[in-house]
Structure 1
Amino acid sequence: MDDYSFDFCRGCRSCHNTAKCVMDDSSVIEKIMREYDEADIIVSVSPSYWADVPGQFKAFIDRCTPWCNTHEPHAAIKPGKKGYSIALRTGPNMPECERIISTIEHFYGHLDIESVAQMGLTSIEYKEDVEPRKKEIIDFCSRI
């Protein structure tokens, strides 16, 4: 999400009636959602920030409310998308990775993206910490 700049959702719920965001920078979110629409596979990778996704990712999720399937009308991406979730954290506790994966899968569910597989990586603080997990990561990626 660092490649994009957008404002936080204001919670006005206008999109629940129009399936469009009234905010000035919605074209950024619309651009990202066009990328989602064009993709067959969505891979979301998130570090742990206080046991959940970073604020930038959460702000993106909030701004996707016009595409959320819990209200009508809603915008939509093409059906049949497959979603993969990867969480990593510096500590050894897998439950925090599971919480991040749950957040991502909850987001996928509201966009009708099928959650296919997930991976949690613990004790990853530096690039060097990935090396011992390389085979596991390659095996996971080979299933995508």
Structure 2
Amino acid sequence: MKKNNFLILGCSPRKGGNSDYAAHRVMDLTLNKGLDPELLFLRDYKVMPCLGCHQCADAKNFSCVLDKHDQCRELLEIIDQAEMACFCSPIYFYHVPAGFKALIDRGQSFYERWMQKGITKKHKKALCVLVAGRKKGENLFKGSLLTMKYFLEPFDYDLSDLCLKGVDLKNDLKENLELQAVLSDFCEKNIPH
């Protein structure tokens, strides 16, 4: 895998919380495997929500009318060009936070490209680490995982997920050795050497 062709995207609006810890932990584990990942945080980028205008379907290069007003296209291009990606996100009311959902919705332009042109089947690998404060909930991650699966399909990613419950307060993951071991095992199984 080429340098910086492994993207890790921290998707929490809260700096230094559990999703950030997971992103840094994935970064460390990736470095230990001899890879050179790129760690980005969504909150450092301006991403405006999709207008639902559908102009990207008819635009040259499937561009969005908002591309000149924010940094969303830049992030989506990074996701598209990476050979492997890992998304670390909290769960708010049974779904990903608003900023991450805005990025996902803006992926519509890449969906339009995929629908019209198709893509070469590379079957890239995407990892998703979701952390939720609730300790129970049969469907706690269901909506987010469906959204992630179909968001990533036009980028030709196959999704593997790790969903952690009971991770709410800022240092819950950092202080839980059992969950850290689960995260390490997930990375060991899913990140190539």
Pairwise TM-score range, normalised by the shorter structure: 0.7 to 0.9
CA–CA distance in structure 2, aligned partners of residues 108 and 87 of structure 1: 16
Equivalent residues of 1:16, 1:71 under 8 A apart: no
Flag as ranges the 4+ runs of structure 1 deviating above 3 A: 76-80
> What TM-score results when the alignment is normalised by the length of structure 1?
0.84
Q: Within 1, Cα distance between the matches of 2:111 and 2:99?
A: 18
Q: CA deviation at 1:68?
A: 0.6
- Bigger drift between 50-59 and 87-96 goes to 87-96
Residue 7, structure 1, aligned to residue 75, structure 2: no
TM-score after normalising by structure 2: 0.65
Give the match for residue 112 of structure 1. Answer: 156
SS at match of 2:156: coil
Structure 2 Cα separation of the partners of residues 15 and 22 of structure 1: 7
Tell me by how many angstroms 1:6 deviates: 2.3
Gaps of 5+ in 1: none
Other structure's SS at 1:92 match: coil
Separation of aligned partners in 2, 1:93 and 1:112: 32
Number of residues of Structure 1 aligned to a counterpart in Structure 2 = 141
Give the alignment's Cα RMSD to 1 decimal.
2.3
Task: Quote the residue 2:25 is aligned against.
Answer: none
Alignment gaps of 5+ in structure 2:
1-41
- CA gap of 1:79–1:20, structure 2 versus 1, over 3 A, is farther
| TM-aligned CA deviation for residue 50 of structure 1 | 0.7
Q: Secondary structure at the match of 2:162?
A: strand
